[in-house]
Amino acid sequence: MTEPAGRATVAVVVTVSDGVSAGEREDVSGPAVAARLAVLGWSVQRLVVPDDRPRIAAAIADAAVRGRLVITTGGTGLAPRDVTPEATSDVVERIIPGIAEAMRTAGRASTPRADLGRGMAGTIRDALVVNLPGSPRGAIESLGAIEAVLSHAIETLAGPYDHGPAPSDEDAPRQSRERP
């Protein structure tokens, strides 16, 4: 499959919400995340889907064809209809636990409830998929926690996969090789 023109700089923000999808509530998180990604240089597309596992999974898979970065917002809590991580698990090929860990760690600075977030991150071919919380503050804080690694993750997924030679023991700090 050939890459659509400009796909390398496209981020797709998928808002997961029954209320937003039904037009009963305004989407606040999706536009906030999209605005931040635009500041970071991404061309942003947006989708809205209800809290429905197959529809979320399909939206994520479609978004991974359209862009190199897929960000979901919503559906990562403990409510019965919060199934975004499960839908994400249905379509990602590899999980990246460190991204979710970084987001929860950063969230603890604002609220101990960050530990209840179930968001995850993973890859679909050369696209990075990240689940953010549904609250605007939580979504922006979580995105902020991983901004520094986004470009490297996307570049690594694109290849040519060469990080250069691995550091040798001689490059390691001396104290790490010596016993006290």
- Give domain limits for the chain: 7-157
Is this prediction's pTM over 0.75? yes
Tell me the CB-side half-sphere exposure of residue 119, using CA atoms within 13 A. Answer: 31
Identify the architecture of domain 7-157 in CATH. 3-Layer(aba) Sandwich (3.40)
Residue 180's pLDDT is 39
**CA dist list (Å): 144 to 3, 21, 89, 98:** 28, 26, 23, 14
Residue 168's pLDDT is 55
Residue 101's pLDDT is 97
Residue 7's pLDDT is 80
Residue 8's pLDDT is 82
3-state secondary structure 44-110: EEEEEECCCHHHHHHHHHHHHHHCCEEEEECCCCCCCCCCHHHHHHHHCCEECHHHHHHHHHHHCCC
pLDDT tens digit at each of 180 positions of the chain: 344 457 889 999 999 999 999 999 999 999 999 999 999 999 999 999 999 999 999 999 999 999 999 999 999 999 999 999 999 999 999 999 999 999 999 999 999 999 999 999 999 999 999 999 999 999 999 999 999 999 999 999 988 766 555 555 554 444 433 433
Residue 19's pLDDT is 97
Contact between 18 and 53 (Cβ < 8 Å): no
End-to-end CA distance of the chain: 55
Cβ atoms < 10 Å from Cβ of 69: 25
Residue 173's pLDDT is 44
Distance CA 167, CA 180 (A): 23
Residue 1's pLDDT is 38
Residue 163's pLDDT is 59
